Amino acid sequence: MPGQERKALSRWLALGLDALRHSCEGIHLVGGTPPMVEIMHRASGRRQWHDFTHRHRYQLLPSGELLVENMIRIGDGVTDLPRVGMSLALVPGLEQLEWFGRGPWENYSDRKASAMVGHYQSTVTGEYVPYIMPQEHGHKTEVRWLTLIGESGRGLRVEGQPLIGFSASHFTADDLFQARHTCDLAPRAEVILNLDHAQRGLGTASCGPDTLSQYRLLQSEYPFAFRLQLLYLARS
């Protein structure tokens, strides 16, 4: 439609955010007790490899937890992003969701006043919100920890350092973007876990004004960390 150029989506498509490709720069050990594995890679959807630089470090702690430290640097000419974080594709079956953070319904940086910090339970399937136009859904802010557990009792725990945002879904962001109606979606067996350090506010001038400046992602660097732990809960 005419006049869409002023909206956030047009800017994101011009940056190639719908077609990101990754280029690994190197993997090596760095000092520490215990030592850390450091991975450096760049990303771009328009073959300008200075757009995004991601340094992530993995350290296996004596507790059995995996500490993941991240530094994402944003290149010149790239700003006002939709989100900053990591997405994990988890094995099928991790359907039972539990978290300590804002809830129980979805909440965002500029829409969370009605979502109280507390201890909540749900399912990954139950987190889906059937918007007529498929889109982002189920996000939670200010989360201390979350767990995803399967029928066997095995699962994953994520702990923010100190806080993190997340959403758990059977759809990837691209699944949602490509669909034009709910009937266009086919749930995946695996769980797509988005661990977000930050997300842009909901307003995108699609209907009404754009997002206020305090809810936009305008920084050039984003450091964040979280811990991962494998779980096994014995079933009676």
Report the C-alpha gap between 23 and 41 in whole angstroms: 5
Give the model's pLDDT for residue 32: 79
**The amino acid at 200:** R
Report the C-alpha gap between 96 and 23 in whole angstroms: 34
- Nearest Cα neighbor of 199 from 124, 111, 121 is 111
Q: Does domain 4-232 have CATH number 2.70.98.10?
A: yes
Sole residue written with tokens 């209907």 = 207
Give the model's pLDDT for residue 70: 98
Report the C-alpha gap between 37 and 22 in whole angstroms: 18
Over the stretch 216-234, which tens digit does the pLDDT of each residue have? Answer: 999 999 999 999 999 998 7
Q: Find the helix or strand (DSSP H, E) in which 58 lies.
A: strand 52-60
Give the model's pLDDT for residue 3: 61
Q: Using an 8 Å Cβ cutoff, are 54 and 72 in contact? A: yes
Give the model's pLDDT for residue 2: 57
Q: Using an 8 Å Cβ cutoff, are 162 and 117 in contact? A: no
Report the C-alpha gap between 45 and 170 in whole angstroms: 24
Using the 8-state DSSP alphabet, how is residue 111 labeled?
A: B
- Nearest Cα neighbor of 199 from 162, 229, 227, 173 is 173
- Nearest Cα neighbor of 226 from 81, 70, 96 is 70
Give the model's pLDDT for residue 7: 84
Give the model's pLDDT for residue 236: 58
Report the C-alpha gap between 155 and 232 in whole angstroms: 6
Positions of the chain with pLDDT lower than 50, given as ranges: none
Give the model's pLDDT for residue 205: 76
Over the stretch 162-190, which tens digit does the pLDDT of each residue have? Answer: 999 999 999 999 999 999 999 999 999 99
